[in-house]
């Protein structure tokens, strides 16, 4: 008797278009790869050597599940200085994909809704489907900007998450301070958890990260309710505490 061993959960995930393009490219002669974010240069020798040295020094076994303490402590201190308050626990995952999966599984119950803009990073929809959640996708065409009025219309009593991705894949759009403020307003008003996918934050070359923390801790800065016009606000957790920050390092 034939039996389908594939779960309904897996069946609900359709193959990403990017995989189809990979398959097609594998059959082509000398295709130019403009797809995933692979640099066109090799890993620098200094980084390779550091990895080799660590392996040789015996750092080649299971670590603490949440990541080794010195790494987590260093990232917590750096991020807290940058954001202007203690950001809380840091968890090391296998890529931002691992972080997204865990964040969604840890927060979404069947029927819960998550709002995000279209165009969006392909995994959001599939992870939400796998968690039994519902993707509520807000059209951001033609300018790909965050339109608070459109987002607000998409919110229902079942909305739990607001997913932001700035700088964005695939559009490259970086949310302005006004847009971040508007997104935080919406999240506060509807008591939403925000998932801030900041994987491309290192590409914001004009941010002085040291100045951000210094400004926030200076007298007169009122934290989440303060006058953030004195500091460049490019990351939602500067203004809102109910945020899971996802970064790649
Ligand atoms: C917006 C966005 N989030 C998350 C990821 C996944 O990141 P990682 O490769 O670290 O798993 C990607 C990768 O393309 C991405 O573009």
Instruction: Give 10-residue mean pLDDT values along the chain (249 residues).
Output: 87 77 87 77 96 96 94 94 91 96 97 97 94 97 98 98 96 94 97 97 80 45 41 80 94
Q: What's the 232 CA to ligand 1 centre distance in angstroms? A: 24
Give Cβ neighbours of residue 82 (< 8 Å, ≥ 6 apart). Answer: 209, 212, 213, 235
Ligand 1 midpoint to CA 219 (Å): 37
From 202, 200, 147, 203, select the one nearest 178 (Cα to Cα).
Answer: 147
- Contact yes or no for 136/114 (Cβ under 8 A): yes
Provide the pLDDT for residue 211: 61
Tokens describing residue 40: 């066109």
CA distance 197 to 203: 13
Q: Residues 6 or more apart from 90 whose CB is under 8 A from it?
A: 67, 72, 75, 76, 79
Look at residue 182 in the predicted model and tell me its pLDDT.
96
- The binding-site residues of ligand 1, defined as CB within 6 angstroms of any ligand atom, are 37, 95-97, 121, 165, 169, 197, 199, 248
pLDDT in tens, 113-159: 999 999 999 999 999 999 999 999 999 999 999 999 999 999 999 99
Following DSSP, what letter does each residue of 90-138 receive, concatenated? Answer: ----SHHHHHHHHHHHHHPPTT-EEEEEES--THHHHHHHHTT-EEEEE
Residue-level pLDDT at 209: 67
Ligand 1 mutation pick, 36, 98, 125, 169, max ligand atoms within 8 A of CB? 169
195 C-alpha to ligand 1 centroid (Å): 13
pTM of the prediction?
0.86
Measured in Å, residue 97 CA sits from the centre of ligand 1 at 6
* Minimum CA distance residue for ligand 1 atom 16: 169
Question: Cα(168)–Cα(146) distance, rounded to whole angstroms?
Answer: 11
Gap from CA of 225 to ligand 1 centroid (Å): 31
What pLDDT, on a 0 to 100 scale, did the predictor assign at position 239? 92
pLDDT attached to residue 159: 98
For the CA of 98, the closest atom of ligand 1 is: 11
What torsion do the CA atoms of 163, 169, 174, 177 make, to the nearest 10 degrees? 0
Residue 201, Cβ neighbours under 10 Å: how many? 20
The CATH class of 69-246 is alpha beta
Residues 163 and 105: their CA atoms lie apart, in Å, by 14
């Amino acid at each position: 008797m034939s039996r389908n061993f594939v779960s309904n959960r897996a069946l609900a995930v359709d193959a990403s278009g990017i995989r189809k393009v990979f398959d097609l490219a594998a059959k082509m002669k000398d295709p130019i790869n403009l797809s995933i974010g692979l640099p066109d240069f090799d890993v620098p020798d200094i980084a390779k050597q550091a990895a080799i040295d660590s392996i040789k020094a015996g750092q080649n076994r299971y670590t603490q599940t949440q990541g080794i303490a010195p790494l987590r402590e260093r990232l917590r201190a750096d991020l807290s200085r940058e954001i202007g308050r203690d950001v809380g626990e840091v968890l090391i995952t296998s890529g931002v994909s691992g972080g997204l999966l865990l964040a969604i599984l840890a927060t979404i119950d069947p029927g819960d809704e998550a709002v995000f803009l279209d165009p969006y990073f392909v995994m959001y929809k599939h992870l939400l489907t796998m968690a039994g959640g519902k993707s509520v996708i807000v059209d951001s065409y033609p300018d790909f900007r965050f339109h608070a009025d459109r987002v607000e219309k998409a919110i229902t009593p079942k909305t739990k998450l607001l997913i932001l991705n700035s700088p964005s894949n695939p559009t490259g759009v970086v949310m302005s301070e006004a847009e971040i403020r508007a997104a935080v307003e919406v999240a506060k008003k509807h008591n939403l958890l925000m998932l801030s996918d900041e994987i491309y934050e290192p590409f914001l070359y004009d941010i002085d990260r040291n100045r951000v923390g210094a400004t926030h801790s200076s007298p007169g800065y009122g934290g989440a309710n303060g006058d953030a016009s004195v500091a460049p606000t490019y990351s939602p957790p500067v203004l809102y505490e109910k945020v899971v920050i996802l970064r790649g390092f």
